Amino acid sequence: MSEKISIVKRNVKYTRLEVDLNGLKIIAPKSVEVEEKEVLQRHQRWLQNKIQRLNEIKEISANLKIYNHEHLNELINLYVEKIGRILKLKPNKVIFRKMKVRWGSCHPEKGIIIFNKFLKYLPKELISYVVLHEMCHLIVRNHKKEFWLLVKKLDPNFKEKEKLLAGYKVRLNLI
């Protein structure tokens, strides 16, 4: 991460920090005067952890192989069927689109799952994991404990896969 710090005023209630590969943003309500040093000092431990994680993801990304699965739709539909048999459910609709930030998203009330077309550049085991992750959202909508317990039950190595997905985001410049 570069040392770039920017202060952004928005229609928000509370001041917060955002950290990414481009630097650090202090997001603050329009009416609040921001004391940069005070904000950074108050969130120092969180900030150090976040920077450490970003550096770890950058290291991971440097060694990742880029794939090119030409039949991504068919591959994902196979995983949807396979995981659907395990979970005893299937989505009403599967959609593919280019997404800037996410690998997939789920609309459980409509039974729709959307997959990022950039998944074609990932290894098959990560594509399968993204399908599993989104299919689990048909059962549990959010990312609270119940969701992660379900994911872990089906894929005990999910934490490692989440790190690899973050690395691929960096490698493919999706952040």
Which ranges in the chain are annotated with CATH 3.30.2010.10?
72-171
In angstroms, what CA-CA distances link 138 with 12, 50, 95, 121, 126?
Answer: 31, 30, 15, 25, 19
pTM of the predicted model, to two decimals? 0.85
Q: List per-residue pLDDT tens for the chain, 175 residues long.
A: 446 889 999 999 999 998 888 889 999 999 988 889 999 999 999 999 999 999 999 999 999 999 999 999 999 999 999 999 999 999 999 999 999 989 999 999 999 999 999 999 999 999 999 999 999 999 999 999 999 999 999 999 999 999 999 999 999 987 6
**72-171: which CATH architecture?**
2-Layer Sandwich (3.30)
